[in-house]
Amino acid sequence: MRQDQRRTKDNDKYMNQVEEVIKAAKKGVKSKKNEFVSKGYSIVDRAAKKHVIHNNKASRLKARISRLVKKAS
């Protein structure tokens, strides 16, 4: 497998995880709100650490997750 194909596959995996967490936060299950925040932060931080997303975008996504969870409460 070529290096760019492997990196693309890995990047897609991280971005899909980020999108799933945001969708779950939008649904807003009240009983699992702390789980959404901690899992969401973890996934976003991991994507930023692997340089899939920029650090500022990671910060913006984390703020969005917390805002969505707070709104659902």
Nearest to 58 by CA among 18, 29, 11: 18
Question: pLDDT tens for residues 25-61?
Answer: 887 766 677 777 888 899 999 999 999 999 999 999 9
What would the two tokens of residue 41 be? Answer: 């932060």
Nearest to 17 by CA among 59, 54, 61, 63: 61
Q: What is the pLDDT of residue 29?
A: 66
Assess contact for 40 and 65: CB atoms under 8 A.
yes
Specify the pTM: 0.79
Spatial separation of the C-alpha atoms in residues 10 and 26, rounded to whole Å: 25
Question: pLDDT tens for residues 3-21?
Answer: 999 999 999 999 999 898 8
Q: What is the pLDDT of residue 62?
A: 93
Q: What is the pLDDT of residue 53?
A: 94
